[in-house]
Structure 1
């Protein structure tokens, strides 16, 4: 006779496959907000989680973004993951690899890539390009308010069980949400495009409307996620390509909205290469057309495959109870604390350094070029890091990479302090690229290491929910500090407006003489903003110092202790 626990597991297994497959958070630690270096993109807060079966041996297609400081890539070796997660023998794996991809699967892969691309576009705007555009007009405190728009992707777990449970059977489990979400996303893009001049001409007066609009855009983008559809779109032998589609689509959408748009939006870039300047209005209109076109295709030409639904499926209440049971595990609580504060040491570097470099004279087009050069090195570095983290101690590379990342954060601060006067030399740009690549490699090592550890400890009976929960807290660790870091830059900054005339020198205590708007207001009265104390350096030192102390006092001993635990200690009901 089976034990009660085994009976319960058997009863709920089918639903776990469906309910948890769509539960995976980000954005955007498409890098989706990782400034891995002073000029890296915002993808570190969004993590693409490695595929983990949500039942004993079922779902090969449960990848999703946990999107990213910041989208990072799940670069664990595909063959190793197939063997570890699915239990394939070598001859079975060889048979799978020898099969050609059918025309139906190729069409399905193209559709998945496009859906993920649409999902990555709002992330690239909210986490990437828009903060750089607003920096010319807002203080760092106001940018901190806008940074709240990053939160929905990191909190996706809170409503994902609802999205996966409520649907219209005649339309389909996935299309019931994807179609309305894409209509909303396209409509919101048109709204922003129509009001771009009003919103961005004086953004300080519209900061709360901008924050609300982009927070909503990221929220609907996170809800749109179509990774669960891979279960029926792709054939079983090709489900392993779902994570590839996700990586390609999300990163394409993210970099199109961040790196490519920043370059094409630059007047210097357009004049240099003799091409028309791409405006935010034009870009959003183009993206909305793509969004509506894909939605029309889904409504009239794409049918969703049937999924087996029966009374044995877990209810939404049961899914949330499972999440709570996981959180109550002693070792999971220790891991959550570690995740929530592990990235604080890098936050000044990730949230402010690139903005400071642009303030010092780094062109947006130069920033875009550096990020583009860094991207292929991330792919190579991720593959190498996956080899390193594939052993019995996946947290070892994660721990070892902390030192270099903290060192690079301090070095970034020194680069800003000694930033050369424009025009920038090619040698300095080369140095900046090398700095970016090395820092990105350290970040990738950490991502692969922690992803491998999450894969190892997740209970295979509830793998999707377990992995998503852990990745959610990983994301939050890189999201929640940004608001306070940006606020802190203004809090510690001391600047005044000096107005000189022939007889006297008048010092005006300006309410805000940090942003470009404050400097412009000072200039309008014939004055000049003089910065006595730049809060960026204070915040950077505080973050790095905290990072070193927390690393030595908590992360290293806790990580070693957790890594040494047998996997059974991570199972629900083990305590």
Structure 2
């Protein structure tokens, strides 16, 4: 009895020790949790891959800003060729899908070498690019710059094909739509960060106050940094396992079985193996792409995405164009730009989170309707701008602040609607794309989308807006010609005392020519007369003044161009420099000439690292651009001429022209 009871007890204990079987719901929940964790890291990884695509675009966008003052607009237009690879990448997309090393990975076979070449080019050619930009006192080489960035764009366009294909299989079916958010968000981050970081760290004013007196980075350092960043990401990609090809393998097996069955039925004996003939695979991918064009749903997709932007073109283009004509300035428009940049980065992520579990086409439809509403709001800006600027003198300033907020809100609303349409359309493309030819499929759909944006008749509408005002432009040209004649008689950059007197006298006396009855010219003369009289009032003896330590910073910051002489009364060379500066100060009124006694300004002597007297410090907009030690920049001899000093200051942009007369040297 006891034995039996003991046996039953052991049996019950063994039953209790058996692991509890998980239900189907628990298994599904566990798998979903693992999938979500994996997708989180995959999204971060995709975001980095898309970010580096925006880096060459952002870096290339600052090139025109650097060289615009040194080349003509026709030469500058050559840089527009660098974006061609992104428009033509569909031509070689099937090759990227078909040709790869199986053991290495279908997408990694392309991504790793492409990124490696890109990073090495940026690292080893950074110094040459800096030289081609003229940063090292050399001539600008536009052909080399265009070729360099064209290669970078080609590499990144090809990498984009492979990444698009990988994104379709890297994420789970549930989160596949997140690939579109990674695409938009990553490229925006890469573009904005690379562009803004260079413009900030290369700016003389910002670097002077934050770091030191010279720009913190140039293109050489900047390209090396991003080259190393891409190289590190390439190493990370090497260790990333490409294990998301199950669906592709199943599709390939089905296709192979169908082909074998077809070949046997047709008694075809010599059938090449798929894995051994990449060129045949590429040929079939091109064939699939061709057949894709004639699918009924694809025909509808192509038509819709080619014409979907047409209704918005007139308002979104012509409104800003006409607002400028009605009185608002480009500078006022530029106030909003710093706010648009972070919003353009954040908005795709927020929109993607909101629409993650919804039908992309439904979201696209709502975005389309909202964009219509945003265009109605934008259309109200034109009459409002006309009213505000036609009554500018009578409207309180507070209403202008409200007006600027209204412009900002209307532009933000419009941009959010555009982002909503873009994110949802790309999410739809990710859902319908076939992973078997994912790179080609996504590239094809993106190309259709891009063609729709390029076919948007913005340029044509701009031409129409221009032609509508052609008659008015002809009248304006006539007036401009009259004004040019007047300005030639009384130039705007009158800096010497004698020329001031010579030009004020005829303006005071009503000496006019046959065109003087023009109202615009009369108003210009009154304005010019006030400017000249104001400048004459500022012209006093002893304009080359002594400045004490507490007035040094206000004087340097307040004036656009300042020439500061640190001197000691016991030094002969300081007195020589005094003589030349007094002569130039009497001529060049737009530049502030000051002198500072060194023993009374020791703090700034140390701050500016001045250890030799005389020293001449040149400031532009409060930033130190040059320190002349002794007479090194004037031949290092005491007998240099005032004209030599004037020419030196002219080359350093401290004065606007050279007016000193050589005959004055004899006096």
Q: Is the 8 A contact 1:147 1:482 kept in 2?
A: no
Deviations 1:26-72 (A, max 9, x none): xxxxxxxxxxxxxxxxxxxxxxxxxxxxxxxxxxxxxxxxxxxxxxx
Structure 1 position 315 matched with structure 2 position 281: yes
SS of the residue 1:315 aligns to? helix
1:114 aligns to what? Answer: 48
Deviations 1:513-566 (A, max 9, x none): xxxxxxxxxx9999xxxxxxxxxxxxxxxxxxxxxxxxxxxxxxxxxxxxxxxx
Task: Give the superposition deviation at 1:221.
Answer: 0.6
The CA distance in 1 between the partners of 2:403 and 2:70, in whole Å, is: 28
Q: Is the 8 A contact 1:266 1:364 kept in 2?
A: no
Q: Is the 8 A contact 1:172 1:304 kept in 2?
A: yes
Aligned to 2:189, which of 241, 244, 252?
Answer: 252
Distance verdict in 2 for CA 1:327–1:200, change over 3 Å = farther
Aligned to 2:116, which of 163, 183, 198?
Answer: 183
> Taking structure 2 as the reference length, what is the TM-score of the superposition?
0.48
Segments of 5+ residues of structure 2 without an aligned counterpart are 1-23, 257-273, 275-279, 393-399, 492-512, 514-654, 659-667
Q: Is the 8 A contact 2:360 2:425 kept in 1?
A: no
Distance verdict in 2 for CA 1:135–1:167, change over 3 Å = same
Structure exhibiting the larger radius of gyration computed from Cα positions: 2
Q: How does 1:147-158 map to 2 (within 5 A)?
A: 147-158=80-91
Q: Is the 8 A contact 1:348 1:485 kept in 2?
A: no
Q: Is the 8 A contact 2:81 2:150 kept in 1?
A: yes
Task: Give the superposition deviation at 1:349.
Answer: 5.7
Distance verdict in 2 for CA 1:318–1:106, change over 3 Å = same
1:434 aligns to what? Answer: 409
1:214 aligns to what? Answer: 149
Deviations 1:219-248 (A, max 9, x none): 211212335446787799987876666566
1:289 aligns to what? Answer: 228
SS of the residue 2:98 aligns to? coil
1:514 aligns to what? Answer: none
Task: Give the superposition deviation at 1:438.
Answer: 1.0
1:501 aligns to what? Answer: 488
Task: Give the superposition deviation at 1:335.
Answer: 4.1
2:595 aligns to what? Answer: none
Distance verdict in 2 for CA 1:435–1:145, change over 3 Å = farther
Task: Give the superposition deviation at 1:178.
Answer: 2.0
The CA distance in 1 between the partners of 2:372 and 2:295, in whole Å, is: 29
Distance verdict in 2 for CA 1:105–1:400, change over 3 Å = closer
Task: Give the superposition deviation at 1:440.
Answer: 1.2
Aligned to 2:447, which of 472, 482, 485?
Answer: 472
1:326 aligns to what? Answer: 292
Q: How does 1:126-525 map to 2 (within 5 A)?
A: 126=60, 129-130=62-63, 145-169=78-102, 171-190=104-123, 191=125, 194-199=128-133, 209-225=144-160, 226-229=163-166, 249-270=186-207, 277-296=216-235, 312=256, 315-329=281-295, 332-333=298-299, 335-343=301-309, 346=313, 360-361=330-331, 367-381=337-351, 383=353, 390=359, 396-404=365-373, 406-407=375-376, 430-431=405-406, 433-451=408-426, 468-479=443-454, 498=484, 500-502=487-489
Q: Is the 8 A contact 1:339 1:473 kept in 2?
A: yes
The CA distance in 1 between the partners of 2:423 and 2:409, in whole Å, is: 21
Distance verdict in 2 for CA 1:115–1:525, change over 3 Å = same
Task: Give the superposition deviation at 1:218.
Answer: 1.8
Deviations 1:64-106 (A, max 9, x none): xxxxxxxxxxxxxxxxxxxxxxxxx99876444433877x887
Q: Is the 8 A contact 1:121 1:253 kept in 2?
A: yes
Task: Give the superposition deviation at 1:469.
Answer: 2.6
> Taking structure 1 as the reference length, what is the TM-score of the superposition?
0.54
Distance verdict in 2 for CA 1:247–1:427, change over 3 Å = same
Task: Give the superposition deviation at 1:392.
Answer: 7.5
Aligned to 1:99, which of 31, 34, 42?
Answer: 34
Distance verdict in 2 for CA 1:469–1:245, change over 3 Å = closer
Task: Give the superposition deviation at 1:403.
Answer: 2.6
SS of the residue 2:489 aligns to? coil
RMSD of aligned alpha carbons: 5.6
The CA distance in 2 between the partners of 1:159 and 1:269, in whole Å, is: 44
Task: Give the superposition deviation at 1:172.
Answer: 3.7
The CA distance in 1 between the partners of 2:308 and 2:182, in whole Å, is: 30
SS of the residue 1:286 aligns to? helix
1:47 aligns to what? Answer: none
1:123 aligns to what? Answer: 57
Task: Give the superposition deviation at 1:473.
Answer: 0.9
SS of the residue 1:328 aligns to? coil
The CA distance in 1 between the partners of 2:86 and 2:228, in whole Å, is: 24
**Aligned residue-pair number:** 415
Distance verdict in 2 for CA 1:91–1:416, change over 3 Å = farther
Relative contact order: is structure 1 or structure 2 higher (C-alpha 8 Å, sep ≥ 6)? 1
SS of the residue 2:419 aligns to? helix
Distance verdict in 2 for CA 1:230–1:174, change over 3 Å = same
Quick check: 466-475 or 196-205, which moved more? 196-205
Q: Is the 8 A contact 1:141 1:487 kept in 2?
A: no
Task: Give the superposition deviation at 1:369.
Answer: 4.0
Task: Give the superposition deviation at 1:159.
Answer: 1.5
Q: Is the 8 A contact 1:148 1:483 kept in 2?
A: no
The CA distance in 2 between the partners of 1:209 and 1:490, in whole Å, is: 37
The CA distance in 1 between the partners of 2:314 and 2:202, in whole Å, is: 27
